[in-house]
Amino acid sequence: MADQDNLDPTMLAAFRASEPRISRRFFARRSSTWLLAGGAMAVMTACGTGSAASKEDVAALRKEIAAIKAGGAPEGDAKAADAHGAEKPGAAGAHDAKHWAYEGEGGPDKWADLAPENLVCRTGATQSPIDIAKSQPGAGGRTNIKWQPAGLSVINNGHTIQADVANGGAIEVDGVPYTLVQFHFHAPSEHTVNGKRFAMETHFVHKSAQGELAVVGVLHEAGAANDALAPVWAALPKTTEDKKAVATFDCASVLPKDRSMYRYAGSLTTPPCTEGVRWQLMQSPTPVSDAQVKAFNEIIKPNARPVQPMKARDVLKESIWKLLSPA
Ligand SMILES: [Zn+2]
């Protein structure tokens, strides 16, 4: 049986400090033990000395956790999940009243209350997205893009349209390789620049061998049609049951010509808002047409999390970004 010392201390501290319901009921009891399964809280059990009351509490928590899991808790390592939570469309109970959303009862200001693993959505120090209001010249950091044309499997997960990429190459952030896993869209944009919101934003999500995430973001300004995105737009799945294949797609074609970027330490922009995500946001927007945004929003309602406090972060303005062919 695991004990509390095996848990991520940051996560444990966050639970104790910020989840009075669970702290009160469970952390006061030394007879309780937490197990972490795959980076997300999965189950809690009482050790031998538990009182009858604590056993009831544990049974209640088990039930709660089962409900959370059925409702879309991360499967496997939270960091290995995609950047839009690890929700599986169509899972039983996935769309109950407490499910996360972009407005209403499950809206962004409630995310932290919907599941214990979402606490960092409220308590985190490096949440995304942010408003890029001030930036400073980067000092020595380097992101190399080594993408290659690849096949896509385009899905609708209910929160975004996501293109899973097979063999799409990788990026290197300060020498650390991150494999391209998927890309997806937000309309309107999630990041803002000096308060300006853009019509759309594409997120290219990468994962390192250690399960760390790095995202390349591209802002899209209302204007001409974005030809690079046309093959994906021709395959937008209308429902969560729908899945479309794109035989080959060149992700680099979505990038602006000027590859200067902002870099900062952030998080997933959807529950569970996991931190430790390395963000690189292209400074130059590329266009997207009203018709393209409309086609997206007809399937996916506006899906931008509000900008989060900067707290102690710096944004680096990086301009030595390079596009390299795959090794
Ligand atoms: Zn995103």
Average pLDDT over residues 294-314: 95
Average pLDDT over residues 145-150: 94
Q: Tens digits of per-residue pLDDT, 204-217?
A: 999 999 999 999 99
Residue 136 has what pLDDT?
78
Confidence band for 134, pLDDT divided at 50, 70 and 90: confident
Give me the half-sphere count of Cα atoms (radius 13 Å) on the Cβ side of residue 66: 6
Residue 140 has what pLDDT?
56
Q: Which of 201, 203, 161 lies closest to 181, judged by CA?
A: 203
Residue found by looking up tokens 């399960």 in the block = 211
Q: Tens digits of per-residue pLDDT, 167-181?
A: 999 999 989 999 999
Question: What is the C-alpha separation between 233 and 235, in angstroms, rounded?
Answer: 5
Say which of 159, 186, 191, 203 is annotated catalytic. Answer: 159
Residue 315 has what pLDDT?
85
Residue 233, amino acid: W
CA 187–ligand 1 middle distance (angstroms):
10
Active site annotation includes 220: no
pLDDT of 13 above 80 = no
5-14, 68-77, 174-183, 217-226: which has the minimum mean pLDDT?
A: 68-77
Q: Tens digits of per-residue pLDDT, 48-106?
A: 223 333 444 444 445 544 544 444 333 233 333 445 544 444 333 344 436 999 999 99
Q: Which residues of 81-101 are buried (b: 16+ CB within 10 A; e: fewer)?
A: bbbbbbbebeeeeebeebbbb
pLDDT of 294 above 70 = yes
CA 265–ligand 1 middle distance (angstroms):
15
User: What is the value of pTM for the model shown?
Assistant: 0.72
CA 287–ligand 1 middle distance (angstroms):
18
pLDDT of 35 above 80 = no
Domains, the chain = 4-70 (no CATH), 104-323 (3.10.200.10)
Residue 98 has what pLDDT?
61
74 within 8 A of 38, measured Cβ to Cβ: yes
CA 138–ligand 1 middle distance (angstroms):
24
77-91, 103-117, 189-203: which has the minimum mean pLDDT?
A: 77-91
CA 189–ligand 1 middle distance (angstroms):
9
